[in-house]
A and B are shown apart, each in its own frame.
Chain A
Amino acid sequence: AQSVTQLGSHVSVSEGALVLLRCNYSSSVPPYLFWYVQYPNQGLQLLLKYTTGATLVKGINGFEAEFKKSETSFHLTKPSAHMSDAAEYFCAVRGNSGYSTLTFGKGTMLLVSP
């Protein structure tokens, strides 16, 4: 069984500040990990994903995430927030056992103030 926990339903930052969105997972098999972003009235858009190899993964819009197996974490970061980053962010896990199901966290709403 797989599960994802996202700490904080809302995170507020100032423009230019560091963004840190937390994600912890549990999985009985080595996981594939994903971050999706949802802008208002739009679908879920893939930001980045970890499958194998380098544990620091870079995505679109300056975001990156680091897979830490020992901590079962996949936190999302961005050095400097922009107003346009305001959106809801979802962490998801998928097993590599051949099943197609994505298991999502509850999402974190990122609020960016000027």
Chain B
Amino acid sequence: EPEVTQTPSHQVTQMGQEVILRCVPISNHLYFYWYRQILGQKVEFLVSFYNNEISEKSEIFDDQFSVERPDGSNFTLKIRSTKLEDSAMYFCASSQGDRGTDTQYFGPGTRLTVL
């Protein structure tokens, strides 16, 4: 069964450093998403991406964040200058469509630890 994959599973970085989290969505999906979950808190939406453009973003997704689909298979989240509060589990998801009925399929997550 097709699945969303994410690398690395765990990333440790120093405050102020740039990190890139990588995702490979399901191959025939057109919509891509990033969510994050700070320990003990809710899973929060960050951004959605379609046709090489951001279609929605939350207040969390400020100028230090960017997303990119550099080739036909990868979808990346870049954090330009990490802060301690960026420590969280980051989930990538993909779906065929963006209707309310379309299921979003999630990857296993990348745990980001900022020291």
Q: Which residues does A use to contact B, with CB under 8 Å? A: 4, 32, 34, 36, 41-46, 49, 51, 90, 92, 94-96, 98-107
Contacts and interface: CB of A to CB of B under 8 A. Distances in A.
Contacts of A102: 35, 43, 45, 104
A103 to B, nearest CB: 7
Given A51-B100, A90-B43, A106-B41, A100 B56 contact: yes
Contacts of B93: 44
A94 B100 contact: yes
B50 to A, nearest CB: 9
Interface of B: 3-4, 6, 9, 31, 33, 35, 40-45, 48, 55-56, 58, 91, 93, 95, 98-101, 103-109
A34 B104 CA distance: 10
Contacts of B106: 36, 43-45
Contacts of B101: 32, 49, 51
A43 B104 contact: no
Contacts of A100: 31, 33, 48, 55-56, 95, 98, 104
Contacts of A45: 106
16 contacts: A4-B42, A32-B101, A43-B4, A43-B109, A44-B43, A90-B43, A100-B31, A100-B33, A100-B55, A100-B98, A101-B56, A102-B35, A102-B45, A102-B104, A104-B42, A106-B40
A87 to B, nearest CB: 13
Given A43-B108, A46-B105, A100-B98, A106 B45 contact: no
B45 A41 contact: no
A39 B70 CA distance: 30
A103 B109 contact: no
B103 A46 contact: yes
A29 to B, nearest CB: 9
A46 B106 CA distance: 9
B43 A32 contact: no
B107 A32 contact: no
Contacts of B91: 43-44
Contacts of B100: 32, 51, 94-96, 98
